[in-house]
Structure 1
Amino acid sequence: MSTPSPLLARPGAVEGGGADAHVASHYGDPFREQRVLAEGQAVVDLSHRGVVTVAGPDRLSWLNTLSSQLLLGLRPGQSSETLLLTVQGRIEYSIHIVDDGTTAWLITEGGEAAPLAAWLERMKFMLRVEVTDATDEWAVLGATGALPELGTDVVVWEDPWPAVGVGGYAYSTVEAGSHPGRERPWFEYLVPRGALDTTVTRTGLALAGSSAAEALRIAAWRPRPGFETDEKTIPHELDLMRTAVHLAKGCYKGQETVARVHNLGHPPRRLTFLHLDGSQHTLPVAGSPVLSEGRTVGRVTSVGHHYEMGPIALAVLKRSVDASADLLVQDGDELYAAAQEVIVAPDAGQVVGRATGFLRAPR
């Protein structure tokens, strides 16, 4: 969508920038918006996201052959996450998918809908599928709980994060029950774009800006396409093996790399969570280099100011970085002390022959 959201006309709305342009970053009170969103009492305008629909009787079997997740037998209303990879196993598209029984709904980052639809169109061959970029007709709302006023027939995607799905594998160091993502249930609702404003009013909930949603996402260690990913990213580096990859499904593009790194190798980089020094009262920008002993060892990918934890960030580091090392984030002349909290373990991967360890095997 290239036009601003109508919700920017709401009192106090301040438009976001970059990938979150055209929706409100906040409505005047970012920390309060975080609190009410975390409590399930707010809704977030995500109408800058892209929506692609795939209809036809072959839709799920077709998408299954193309992507990293097992989609055969996806029940109506069941949510999943899948990736389209390059031959080298690098992430090309990251997709939130839910099927309503006749149509598969694919939610993407805003700039990805048109190229994704075009890519899928080229892969149709003789199959009975119909691909549509539906971004102009449908908008996305985010929330941490149910929105009962929208009715029971609304299409809703429920984030599987951080559960380890069937065929998945956890690369993080924490037990599933103590993963911080457990504190952030997340739902994305598809609503008619023309009714976006009235739909939000009908929920009776407060509006929270994208910065509130981002802070909760970062605290949940949840990767976001275009933020934690770049042209070299493989799923292992971001702990996406738990929700977006099925290790026992049939062939798909990139599967050889996924299997080889998982079974015999290690991902070259690892996602980590950073607690930032807040004494400067500023935040480094995403993309800022992360330093260890004067050397650049990675980059900050997402930054937020959490209403309880203060300044936080996600960063992608070289696998070789000591997990206990003190780090610095450099933004121009400013240096921010950063304490690591390991997400993807330095020895993640190479599961063949692994007798013990903290990684979670497929169920």
Structure 2
Amino acid sequence: MSSYASPLLDLPGAVAAHEPDVGVAAHYGDLFKEQRALARGEGLVDLSHRDVVSVSGADRLSWLHLLLTQHVEALAPGQATEALILSAKGHIEHVLYLVDDGETTWVHTEPGAAGALIAYLESMKFFYRVEVADRGEEFAVTHLPAGSIVEPPAGVVVRETPHGRDLFLPRAALPGFAAEHGPAAGVWAYEALRVEGHRPRLGLETDHRTIPHELGWLERAVHLHKGCYRGQETVARVENLGKPPRRLVFLHLDGSEVTLPEPGAPVRLASEGPEGRQLGRITTSARHHELGPIALAVIKRNVPAEAPLLAETTPAAQELIVEP
């Protein structure tokens, strides 16, 4: 378990998060208030526990283009994108959230993922003019929600997406930036909005055999018409000739239940009851300030799209993310 503890855990009302978000706050005392603030474009989220990696050098984009699922060879400065690194069999190993500043490509990824990511990148350097570095000790990822009017400090690298802006903020600047541009919202609020947005997360929605097609990552993180990369054969074969064995689904959970189904909880057909066949699993569950209890789940592709489900014992209605 990580020993990191954000300085924002010293803020009033802060309650520490558990795995995989150890080191930052789950909330600061009022989950729904924090969600509503983010939805209005106010406040910030402390993601300083996430790993940060940089790739510099003249060949960085052409080199990364060979390794990633995304087309990054001509990535313009300031243009944000997502990319995957796959195994030889096409299974997802890494998810990279990246932006290039014209001289360096900046990446943030899951807590604890930098070591394996850097080891792989280093093994693929060969004769290319690139330098890979772990920058987590120097920079803290800080999220500003969509609609925020906060101006990032001069010189700070910004990764802007439809969901908000990720700042690669110098760690020493984090407490002062939060004091000036808060209120801070915890990762529970951030995760609830992620679930609402149907956005998968490595290690939660994925397992050792997940392929991009199952989670809707083809639209955001895979370019289907670029050159070869490891795992491309699986991507092309499933896209052109087959269908993925599983699919990500959004669930509206019965609001009368007191507790949320935990990640890993079985998903079954409601018609078969709680002793029926397991057809999938809950991957993330959350309480949303407007939608109530919601979840993401990975289920078998051939589960009827209109079928009522049970998340363990909680009734759930499907909303399609990946077409069956």
Q: Say yes or no: TM over 0.5.
A: yes
Tell me, in whole angstroms, the C-alpha distance in 1 between the residues paired with 2:76 and 2:234. 29
Q: Deviation string for 1:98-154 (max 9, x for gaps)?
A: 000110001100111121112111111111110001111110011213453323532
Tell me, in whole angstroms, the C-alpha distance in 2 between the residues paired with 1:113 and 1:18. 17
Task: Find 1:289's aligned residue among 251, 266, 270.
Answer: 266
Tell me, in whole angstroms, the C-alpha distance in 2 between the residues paired with 1:118 and 1:282. 40
Tell me, in whole angstroms, the C-alpha distance in 1 between the residues paired with 2:125 and 2:178. 36
Q: Deviation string for 1:295-315 (max 9, x for gaps)?
A: 100000010000011000000
- In structure 1, what is the equivalent of residue 118 of structure 2? 117
Tell me, in whole angstroms, the C-alpha distance in 2 between the residues paired with 1:55 and 1:247. 26
Tell me, in whole angstroms, the C-alpha distance in 2 between the residues paired with 1:77 and 1:153. 12
Task: Find 2:244's aligned residue among 243, 250, 267.
Answer: 267
Task: Find 2:152's aligned residue among 147, 150, 153.
Answer: 150
- In structure 2, what is the equivalent of residue 66 of structure 1? 67
Tell me which amino acid in the other structure corresponds to 1:148: V
Deviates more, 1:39-48 or 1:114-123: 114-123
- In structure 1, what is the equivalent of residue 35 of structure 2? 34
Determine if the alignment matches structure 1 residue 240 to structure 2 residue 217: yes
- In structure 2, what is the equivalent of residue 159 of structure 1? 161
Q: Deviation string for 1:143-172 (max 9, x for gaps)?
A: 213453323532111236xxxxxxxxxxxx
Deviates more, 1:137-146 or 1:95-104: 137-146
Tell me, in whole angstroms, the C-alpha distance in 2 between the residues paired with 1:219 and 1:201. 28
Q: Deviation string for 1:51-83 (max 9, x for gaps)?
A: 000010010000000010000111111111110
Task: Find 2:195's aligned residue among 218, 237, 245.
Answer: 218
Q: How many residues align?
A: 317
Tell me, in whole angstroms, the C-alpha distance in 2 between the residues paired with 1:96 and 1:105. 8
Tell me which amino acid in the other structure corresponds to 2:315: A
Tell me, in whole angstroms, the C-alpha distance in 1 between the residues paired with 2:180 and 2:104. 26
Q: Displacement, 1:2?
A: 3.2
- In structure 2, what is the equivalent of residue 189 of structure 1? 167
Tell me, in whole angstroms, the C-alpha distance in 2 between the residues paired with 1:56 and 1:120. 14
- In structure 2, what is the equivalent of residue 299 of structure 1? 281
Tell me, in whole angstroms, the C-alpha distance in 2 between the residues paired with 1:249 and 1:61. 12
Q: Displacement, 1:327?
A: 0.7
* SS of residue in 2 equivalent to 1:131: strand
Please show how residues 45-84 of structure 1 align to structure 2 within 5 Å. 45-84=46-85
Q: Displacement, 1:277?
A: 0.9
Tell me, in whole angstroms, the C-alpha distance in 1 between the residues paired with 2:132 and 2:294. 39
User: Is the Cα–Cα contact under 8 Å of residues 150 and 199 in structure 1 kept in the other structure?
Assistant: no
Tell me, in whole angstroms, the C-alpha distance in 1 between the residues paired with 2:68 and 2:204. 21
Tell me which amino acid in the other structure corresponds to 2:115: A
Determine if the alignment matches structure 1 residue 329 to structure 2 residue 306: no
User: Is the Cα–Cα contact under 8 Å of residues 149 and 202 in structure 1 kept in the other structure?
Assistant: no
- In structure 1, what is the equivalent of residue 256 of structure 2? 279
User: Is the Cα–Cα contact under 8 Å of residues 289 and 329 in structure 1 kept in the other structure?
Assistant: yes
* SS of residue in 2 equivalent to 1:211: helix
TM-score by length of 2: 0.95
* SS of residue in 2 equivalent to 1:243: helix
Tell me, in whole angstroms, the C-alpha distance in 2 between the residues paired with 1:221 and 1:304. 12
Tell me, in whole angstroms, the C-alpha distance in 2 between the residues paired with 1:186 and 1:230. 27
What percent of counterpart residues are identical? 54
Deviates more, 1:32-41 or 1:150-159: 150-159
Tell me which amino acid in the other structure corresponds to 2:152: L
Task: Find 1:316's aligned residue among 288, 293, 298.
Answer: 298
Change (3 A) 1:147 1:57: farther
User: Is the Cα–Cα contact under 8 Å of residues 4 and 22 in structure 2 kept in the other structure?
Assistant: no
* SS of residue in 2 equivalent to 1:89: coil
User: Is the Cα–Cα contact under 8 Å of residues 54 and 132 in structure 2 kept in the other structure?
Assistant: yes
- In structure 2, what is the equivalent of residue 8 of structure 1? 9
Determine if the alignment matches structure 1 residue 340 to structure 2 residue 322: no
TM-score by length of 1: 0.85
User: Is there any run of 5+ residues in structure 1 with no aligned partner, and where?
Assistant: 161-184, 347-363
Q: Displacement, 1:258?
A: 0.3
Q: Displacement, 1:280?
A: 2.2
Q: Displacement, 1:317?
A: 0.4
Tell me which amino acid in the other structure corresponds to 1:343: I
Please show how residues 99-118 of structure 1 align to structure 2 within 5 Å. 99-118=100-119
